[in-house]
Structure 1
Amino acid sequence: MGRLSVVDEIFLRTHRGLGTPIALQGLWRTADRIDPALLHEVHTALSTGPLGRRVIRPRVPGSRRSWQRNTRAYPLSFTDQPIATTALMAWADAQGTDLDPEFGPGWRLAAIALDDGGFLVSLTCSHALADGRALVLAADDALGGTSLTADATAPSTARENSAHRDTTSRSASTTPESDWADASRQWSIVLRGTAKALRRGIPDQPHQATGRDRTDAPAPVQTHGAILQCTVADWDRVAATQDGTANSLFISLIANMLWSSGFQPDAIDASLPVDTRDEPRVDNDLAMTDITIDRTDTPSTIREKSRAAYERRMSSPGGMPEELLQVIPDRWAYALSKGAGERDILCSNIGTLPAALRTLGPHRCLGVAARAIHPGITVAQLPRTRLSGYLCRIADDYILSLVSLDPKRIESPTELTGLAQQTLLNADLRVRAW
């Protein structure tokens, strides 16, 4: 099934406590009750699909970890006793616990009844298994949409021959390499790349996160989430009146929410994930870029900044080859890459969701959201990022998911929802909160 990429291993380290814990989550909200038999069918499809795998440690120093099929899964969690709709975000946040991409199931399917007569369904997976777009592809495959081929369900395979067009390490061919061959290849890349980097002088220290007081306190901290829904027609109208795009309006809104929460600096640094797939594939196939936004920026100027940013990507630590992070001990790799990709806000545009995700069997979905959550996060693990936004389109609606990582300024989901609603209203957007 191939070997882990550099990005896969970054998220595997966060699972082990080296960084901010992250899980990916898809949420479906229906207007009516769901037959559990339907969800058992989806659960079975997910078990045998691309999420059904786990990490295997190599036997040779320098060789990359590999993927192995794993059909063992948590049983479907189905609760027919309704909860209040005001509690749905708290329930959704709790679905990321105990995910283990290495020794246990790395994903979970759960559903709960709501007191408005509908249901909320959650699919959560460790970020080591998939990024946001990959989770969408896995769900689409399980729900009978686009069926993924064998290559598409095997991460980091059949791509290495063209891997050096970028800096992400992947495996050498469709035939699995031995650990010895992989280690030899990895060390060769690292030694050549390091020598080349050193010829240019001693590399600069890797970027370290700034802008938040660091602490070693292990105390748990509560993040807060909100989900809002807006028609495509309304969103695109507002973007067009400001000579922007749906994406630049999204980035502008997240920045303005942060300022409205009490963030003082006049400049906000935004990290922007970039999907680097050349075909449908369930893995972490992404890169990061960033822009700086000031208070005079509009969706129009953000559009131009983003366009330029997408032409460049954040580089490897200190100019060294990224493969270095896979041949040294995890704690060293974490120290070298700590804070990479973290900025004041994260704006992840997941894109248009497949048609198969609009329904669950005969049940039409009122909305479908995709986001990241942070199970078990402590004060010591809080990143520089204060506010994360995730945008996706499903049919004629945009779904905006927000996660606040600033418990001092945002004290509850209600406060976050209110802040978001006011910011969107100021932009002449009419929205419905989940």
Structure 2
Amino acid sequence: MDRLGVVDEIFLRTHRGLGTPIALQGLWRTFDRIEPALLQQIHDALRSGPLGRRVVRPHVPGARRGWRMNTRAHPLVFLEDPLQVPELLPWADGLGAELDPEFGPGWRLAAAWLADGGSVVVLTCSHALADARGLVHAVDVALREVGVAEAAADTRAGSAGAGQASGASTNTDRLPGPAAAEAGSQQPGVAVDPAAEPSSARPTAARESDWADAFRQWSIVVSGTIRALRQGIPKRPVSSAPVRAGGHELRVHSAVVQFGAAEWDRVAEEHGGTANSLFIHLVADLLWGIGFADPTIGASLPVDTRDEPRVDNDLAMTEIVVDRTDTPATLRTKARAAYERRMSSPGGMPEQLLQVIPDRWAYTLSKGAGERDILCSNIGTLPNSLRTLGTHPCTGVAARAIHPGLTPAHLPRTRLSGYLCRSGEDYILSLTGLDPAIESGTALTELAVETAARLGLDGTSW
């Protein structure tokens, strides 16, 4: 049985109210209106793919939670009444409700036609199921499956036409994936959830593996704790999240701005930096432009640690401190050094400790971990498969995080989050603002375009 990692469980706790709730989103915009039948194909492929899973509890104390297949899914959401373009992001912001990676579907696919004649497609996923690169992988798998199915359908249609012309009979092939799963269920159209079977029906080997996993976890924790205690009793962890001033209404605002990749890379080179350091510089300048008064900004930088494509939260966090004299060139040096070190586990204790103690204790030990004034998540270049949906070329593909159900009690230290990805000949910058000084999504968008222009970048807002 596949097991949850330490970071997976951190995001699972946030889903349960122990921390800032986080869901990931991929957003696709197309020139024209996408047909619901294609969206249903993509939905079915996602349901039978890597996102089709849920968390199950272990039978043995100390064993890690595991993943089970789960083909249940929220139904496809499709709006036929066109959205005005300014309504796009506020509508997408509200798609994170009722995602449950443990007891129900942890993702949702939604789409809407736009008043400008195009479409927007939004995939929202609990962060416990996947990180950004993991979500990209899951979509890549699904879109490739849809492409293969469409090609197979075209081939069958051609064969059927030839057979009918010659008077030959044809056999109907069953498509792989969710269609096959539904064909084997007792009720047509109702998918079978293998994880829903009673525990008595599950293989004994799965329960035995809990014992083996628990033994391994406790061995790591005990030996690591002994080594840590040789250095003295660790200090009590202190949350990095400062107390926010009261009296402010909790508001989260979003913006997406698109840039030409050639121009972005040219400006980065002219400033002695890279595409990534220019990104960090821009997000930091935005926070100061919003009115952040401190002379320095703490920036948390996620680091992808996977060695092969998979959906798990396979990432670590590092940090840099940005001051007002920094340039893309100096931030390039700071980031390069930061990527060589990672934020350590609490008190030097083994990180597996967070998986064998009660959730509330684990939350206390890890509270505020990785949170700084800004988050700069560079997702990288998206696969070419994500640039088209069926026969519909995308005008832009964005990736970001949202905070469904966020309350003032769980407001993080992070005041502004930036997410950068490259799709074809464009960089797409997505921003999530939690600073009370941000008046609206429109104000955040205008500030982003203006700040980028001062650097020599011409941005187009979504």
Q: Same fold, TM exceeding 0.5?
A: yes
1:285 is matched by which residue type in structure 2? Answer: D
Q: Cα gap change, 1:272/1:414 in structure 2, threshold over 3 Å: closer, same or farther?
A: same
User: Counterpart of 1:37 in 2: which secondary structure?
Assistant: helix
Q: Displacement of 1:214 after TM fit? A: 7.3
Q: 1:243 aligns with which of 272, 276, 291?
A: 272
Aligned to 1:183: 214
Aligned to 1:390: 419
Does the aligned pair in 2 maintain the 1:60–1:180 contact within 8 Å?
A: yes
Q: Cα gap change, 1:252/1:212 in structure 2, threshold over 3 Å: closer, same or farther?
A: farther
User: Counterpart of 2:234 in 1: which secondary structure?
Assistant: coil
C-alpha distance in structure 1 between counterparts of 2:407 and 2:96, whole Å: 15
C-alpha distance in structure 2 between counterparts of 1:52 and 1:308, whole Å: 38
Does the aligned pair in 2 maintain the 1:100–1:106 contact within 8 Å?
A: yes
The answer to whether residue 442 in structure 2 is matched with residue 414 in structure 1 is yes
- Alpha-carbon deviations, 1:308-357, whole Å to 9, x = none? 00000000011101111011110000000000000000000000000011
1:46 is matched by which residue type in structure 2? Answer: L
Q: Percent identity?
A: 67
Q: Displacement of 1:205 after TM fit? A: 2.6
User: Counterpart of 1:293 in 2: which secondary structure?
Assistant: strand
Aligned to 1:151: none
Aligned to 1:255: 284
Does the aligned pair in 2 maintain the 1:214–1:380 contact within 8 Å?
A: no
Aligned to 2:336: 307
Q: 1:209 aligns with which of 233, 240, 247?
A: 240
User: Counterpart of 1:247 in 2: which secondary structure?
Assistant: helix
Q: Displacement of 1:60 after TM fit? A: 1.3
2:306 is matched by which residue type in structure 1? Answer: R
The answer to whether residue 384 in structure 2 is matched with residue 355 in structure 1 is yes
- How many residues of Structure 1 are paired with residues of Structure 2 in the alignment? 405
Q: Cα gap change, 1:184/1:253 in structure 2, threshold over 3 Å: closer, same or farther?
A: same
C-alpha distance in structure 1 between counterparts of 2:423 and 2:305, whole Å: 21
The CA RMSD measured in Å over matched residues stands at 1.7
Does the aligned pair in 1 maintain the 2:258–2:429 contact within 8 Å?
A: yes
The answer to whether residue 399 in structure 2 is matched with residue 380 in structure 1 is no
- Alpha-carbon deviations, 1:280-305, whole Å to 9, x = none? 11110000000001000000000000
Does the aligned pair in 1 maintain the 2:305–2:315 contact within 8 Å?
A: yes
Structural mapping, 1:127-142, within 5 Å? 127-142=127-142
User: Counterpart of 2:144 in 1: which secondary structure?
Assistant: coil
C-alpha distance in structure 1 between counterparts of 2:251 and 2:30, whole Å: 27
Structural mapping, 1:157-176, within 5 Å? none
Does the aligned pair in 1 maintain the 2:241–2:412 contact within 8 Å?
A: no
1:75 is matched by which residue type in structure 2? Answer: P
Q: Displacement of 1:207 after TM fit? A: 4.3
Does the aligned pair in 1 maintain the 2:59–2:207 contact within 8 Å?
A: no
Q: Displacement of 1:221 after TM fit? A: 2.8
C-alpha distance in structure 2 between counterparts of 1:340 and 1:85, whole Å: 36
TM-score, scaled to structure 2: 0.85
1:31 is matched by which residue type in structure 2? Answer: F
TM-score, scaled to structure 1: 0.91
Q: Displacement of 1:83 after TM fit? A: 1.3
C-alpha distance in structure 2 between counterparts of 1:200 and 1:312, whole Å: 20
When Rg is computed on C-alpha atoms for both structures, the one with the higher figure is: 2
Moved more, 112-121 or 200-209: 200-209
User: Counterpart of 2:67 in 1: which secondary structure?
Assistant: strand
C-alpha distance in structure 1 between counterparts of 2:127 and 2:423, whole Å: 22
Aligned to 1:2: 2
Does the aligned pair in 2 maintain the 1:253–1:424 contact within 8 Å?
A: yes
Q: 1:341 aligns with which of 345, 370, 386?
A: 370
The answer to whether residue 93 in structure 2 is matched with residue 62 in structure 1 is no
Aligned to 1:46: 46
C-alpha distance in structure 1 between counterparts of 2:8 and 2:207, whole Å: 18
User: Counterpart of 1:178 in 2: which secondary structure?
Assistant: helix
Q: Displacement of 1:175 after TM fit? A: 8.9
Q: Displacement of 1:63 after TM fit? A: 1.0
Q: Displacement of 1:210 after TM fit? A: 3.8
The answer to whether residue 400 in structure 2 is matched with residue 371 in structure 1 is yes
Gap runs ≥5 in structure 1:
148-173
Aligned to 1:192: 223
C-alpha distance in structure 2 between counterparts of 1:349 and 1:177, whole Å: 40
Q: Displacement of 1:206 after TM fit? A: 2.3
Aligned to 1:224: 253
Q: 1:271 aligns with which of 294, 297, 300?
A: 300
Runs of 4+ in 1 over 4 A off after TM superposition: 174-177
Aligned to 1:287: 316
C-alpha distance in structure 2 between counterparts of 1:50 and 1:198, whole Å: 40
Does the aligned pair in 1 maintain the 2:418–2:431 contact within 8 Å?
A: yes
Aligned to 1:425: 453
Does the aligned pair in 2 maintain the 1:74–1:105 contact within 8 Å?
A: yes
Aligned to 1:164: none
- Alpha-carbon deviations, 1:343-383, whole Å to 9, x = none? 00000000000001111111111100001100010111110
Q: Cα gap change, 1:260/1:220 in structure 2, threshold over 3 Å: closer, same or farther?
A: closer
User: Larger helix proportion, structure 1 or 2?
Assistant: 2
C-alpha distance in structure 1 between counterparts of 2:208 and 2:5, whole Å: 15
Does the aligned pair in 2 maintain the 1:53–1:69 contact within 8 Å?
A: yes
Q: Displacement of 1:213 after TM fit? A: 2.1
C-alpha distance in structure 1 between counterparts of 2:250 and 2:220, whole Å: 40
1:188 is matched by which residue type in structure 2? Answer: S
1:377 is matched by which residue type in structure 2? Answer: L
Aligned to 2:118: 118
